[in-house]
Amino acid sequence: MAQGTRRKRRDEIKLTIAPFQSQTDYKSAVDIQREVWKFDDIDIIPPSMLLASDHIGGISLGAYNNDRRNGRFCVQFPRTEDGILIQHSHMLAVRQAYRNFGVGYRLKLAQRKESLKRKIRRSPGRSIRCSR
């Protein structure tokens, strides 16, 4: 897509990126996993697991419309590498209708910002596949 067109489309979409706060936020991640990856029930990370991950230092972020509907999200699990706490970026998904507006990029920047806020300064040395 041409840069000018991308910038124009990016300006059209007003979103707030924030950590998950409510049960609705965690549940929305289930709908998005089904829609984006076509996961079977057994493959879906359930709200309880995402909540537990966030309780121990993980970061689940949503990108919200004005009506606080979440159509995109990313999830990071905490883990250590060589004894140093890092964030394993596990899932990033943007619903089809919102793609190529720069939302995925903004979610990645928000992950970085949130990690730095928590004094996590190192990226993982290895990556693990997040989908089938």
Ligand X SMILES: CC(C)(COP(=O)(O)OP(=O)(O)OC[C@H]1O[C@@H](n2cnc3c(N)ncnc32)[C@H](O)[C@@H]1OP(=O)(O)O)[C@@H](O)C(=O)NCCC(=O)NCCS
Cα–Cα nearest to 17, from 58, 98, 71: 71
Our CB check for ligand X shows the closer of 103 and 120 to be: 103
Among 103, 110, 111, 120, binds ligand X (CB under 6 A): 103
Rounded to whole angstroms, the maximal C-alpha distance in the chain is 45
Among 99, 118, 121, 122, binds ligand X (CB under 6 A): 99
Our CB check for ligand X shows the closer of 99 and 118 to be: 99
Distance from the Cα of residue 4 to its chain's centroid: 26
Among 59, 94, 110, 120, binds ligand X (CB under 6 A): 94
For position 13 contacting ligand X by CB under 6 A, the verdict is: no
- List the beta bridge partners of residue 80: 85
